Amino acid sequence: MIKKKCLKLACRLRDCIASQPASKLVFIIGLVICTTYFNGLFNGFVWDDEEQILNNPVAHSLANWWRSFFGSTFNTGGGGVSGFYYRPVMMIFFIVNWLVWGKLAFGFHLAQIGLHIANAGLVFWLVKSILEEAKVKQAKTIGFWTALIWGVHAGISEAVFYISSVQEELFVLFSLTALLILVKGKKNINWWWYGFLSWFGLVSKEAAVTGMAIGGLYLLWLKRNRDDFWRWLMTSSLVIGAYAVARFGIAKVGLSSFSVVPIVKASLAQRLMTVPYTIVSYLRISFWPERLFITHHFVVPSFADVRFWGSLLVLATLLTVLALTGRNRSRTYWFWWLWFLVGISLVLNIFPLDMSLAERWLYFPLIGVAAAVVWQVVDRAKTVSVLILSAVVVLLGTRTWLRSYNWRSGLILYGHDIKLNSGAYDLNNNYGTELYRAGRRREAKKYFLKSVELAPDWWVNRSNLGVALASEGQEKQAERQYRQALTNGSYYLAYENLAGLLFNQKRYKEVIEIGEAGLKSLPANFKLSYLTALAYYRLGRLDEAAQLVAHLNRWYLDDPQVMELTNLIQSAKKDKP
């Protein structure tokens, strides 16, 4: 009896979905996603949000929008912006949101959820259009469930909760729209619009090149139109060329990664041995997003490592299952699995990145997995597929809702994630920073020490450890850490902290040495400039102090501290015989 009722309900739901207009299905998708991510609206700025948004002067003025195309994204404490990212569209997103919301993180999260809903709508239209072209009967139903499952999937929730990962949403927005132009264009593809959108995808994030590759795959493998393929190839080459000129020629932003990252330190052979485990890890997150945390650092050092041969066995088994279950499938089915492989190709660390794996990097590739699996379920489970897929949506949505609480603040996020990944050097440092800010200084020091142990060549953890030591009165040890931080890298906080420590010890000549060295690369750094000028003043070198104060006035006009120091110098000059 119960079984019959369930089957009857499943039939009604299946028929109801199939009979709804596409616009209504998109509305339902948006509503479910909005409900799932609603709790994330009340989260704050975390992780790189601090240096890319809160402390980044470029992100605080609409007049700086053009600067986004001439540099990277990270605040350097007076040296402009730096880093290895070229993300002009992301920076413009920050600028516009700062103009509207200021320091209110709620507005940034609202915009980010809106982008995610828009992308889910594009996923629906794209999957539906490609399947309809292949004459798949339940194209609309498959498109609906693909977009819904992808939209609430906890494995990609980092890309939605983490403001600084909006680059993922932006490049996917442009890439999916460009792909829709190829699919909908049929015999009249608008190549100008395709090229325009593809370029904006690239300047959102270089991973948009995978979206372009999927466009070529669609034209050559599914559409089998060689003429359009050659037009795609020519247009894509011009777009990539224009991007390369903008990034490398004008902005001069390279492709290097942090040398302290384990996967960067690994040899090419070790990175290649790590690839199977990385693919399996992405698939694990796709099918079982239970253990989620923000930093994944792993390296497979040898062929004997179980992560290498074990992952190969898993992949061989998966390929066998797919071959058996999909042997009668059309090219369109395999296209979605190829989507996944192409999507993760750039994040397999063949060229080293700043992490071995990141959940947000699954944002685009997961579309292919979702489409392939949903198609199988709809075809094989028939009537009860709607119940199975509904249960999956509820489970994934619940996991995403629970994960949203972890992203409430840096202290909560790092405190949760470090229990799952205690060996990450950056996670230990970040948690230590939040503990220190919360007044839990002894605990913070423990995590800074662990971070330094894990990554002795990093500069941020050394500087933070110095701060913790100085707070305990261990000034000699603190000074040693600051100087080591500057040896490791030109870090603005290490300059500031060391100059402040030396000034408090009245070692003014050394303050000037540090200040002059730091200001070469950090000309607009307030604290360093101010302490150096004050050191000149204390030593009676008034002309040099006045010169540096004049320099400060270029950047910080009418600042009370600068005005006070100016008056002191002028008074001293008058009193000087």
Q: Which residue has the higher pLDDT, 189 or 552?
A: 189
Structure tokens at 76: 């350097």
Q: Of 258, 241, 228, which Cα lies nearest the Cα of 48?
A: 258
When computed from its CA atoms, the radius of gyration of the chain, rounded to whole angstroms, is: 27
The pLDDT score that the predictor gives to residue 186 is 73
> CA–CA separation, 153 vs 286, rounded Å?
8
The answer on pLDDT for 336 being more than 90 is yes
**Which of 240-278 are b and which e, b meaning 16 or more Cβ less than 10 Å from the residue's Cβ?**
beebeebbeeebebeeebbebbbbbebeeebbebbbbbb
Question: For residue range 520-558, what is the model confidence (pLDDT) as tens digits?
Answer: 888 888 888 889 888 988 888 888 888 887 877 776 766
Q: What is the mean pLDDT of the chain?
A: 91
Q: Residue 20 burial by CB count (10 A; 0-12/13-18/19+): exposed, middle or buried?
A: middle
Strand locations in 198-293 (E): none
| DSSP 8-state assignment for residue 351 | S
The amino acid occupying position 132 is E
* Residue-level pLDDT at 43: 96
pLDDT of residue 68: 84
Tell me the residue type at 558.
D
Q: Compute the distance between CA of residue 33 and CA of residue 113 in angstroms, rounded to an integer.
A: 8
Decide if 440 contacts 428 (C-beta within 8 A).
no
Q: Please report, to the nearest 10 degrees, the dihedral formed by the alpha carbons of residues 448, 449, 453, 456 taken in order.
A: 60
The span from the CA of 169 to the CA of 178, in Å, is 14
Answer with the residue of higher pLDDT: 342 or 379. 342
**Does the CA dihedral 309-311-316-321 come out positive or negative?**
positive
Residue extent(s) of CATH 1.25.40 domains in the chain: 506-577
Q: Could you tell me the pLDDT band of residue 185, with boundaries at 50, 70 and 90?
A: confident
Contact of 160 with 37, CB cutoff 8 Å: yes
pLDDT at 384 over 70: yes
Residue 462 near residue 485 (C-beta atoms within 8 A): yes
Structure-token pair, residue 516 = 């002059």
Element spanning 203, H or E = none
Of 346, 337, 395, nearest to 366 (Cα)?
A: 337
Of all residues in the chain, the percent with pLDDT exceeding 90 is 70
Per-residue pLDDT reduced to its tens digit, 28-46:
999 999 999 999 999 999 9
pLDDT at residue 570, as a whole number? 79
DSSP symbol at 357? B
Q: Provide the token pair at 520.
A: 């070469």
> What's the one-letter identity of residue 259?
S
Reference 460, options 432, 487, 485, 496; nearest CA is: 485
Q: For residues 427 and 455, what is the distance between their CA atoms, to the nearest angstrom?
A: 11
pLDDT at 144: 96
pLDDT, tens only, 256-306: 767 789 999 999 999 999 999 999 999 999 999 999 999 999 999 999 999
Q: Tokens standing for 467?
A: 């701060």
State the sign of the Cα–Cα–Cα–Cα dihedral 385, 390, 391, 393: positive
Q: What is the pTM of this model?
A: 0.94
Domain 506-577, CATH among 1.20.1050, 1.25.40, 3.40.50, 1.10.287: 1.25.40
Chain segment 293-335, per-residue pLDDT in tens: 999 999 999 999 999 999 999 999 999 998 888 777 788 999 9
82 against 235, higher pLDDT: 235
Report the sign of the C-alpha dihedral through residues 300, 303, 307, 308, in that order: positive
The torsion angles phi and psi of 61, rounded to 5 degrees, stand at -145, 135
Question: CA–CA separation, 356 vs 285, rounded Å?
Answer: 14
For residue 69, what pLDDT is reported? 87
CB 74 within 8 A of CB 13: no
- Residue 357 pairs in a beta bridge with 296
Determine the pLDDT at residue 257: 65
Residue with tokens 């339940």: 138
Q: State yes or no: pLDDT of 9 exceeds 80.
A: no
Band the pLDDT of 115: cuts 50, 70, 90.
very high
Rounded-to-5 percentages of helix, strand, coil across the chain:
75, 0, 25
> Of 78 and 123, which is predicted with more confidence?
123
Note the pLDDT of residue 572. 76
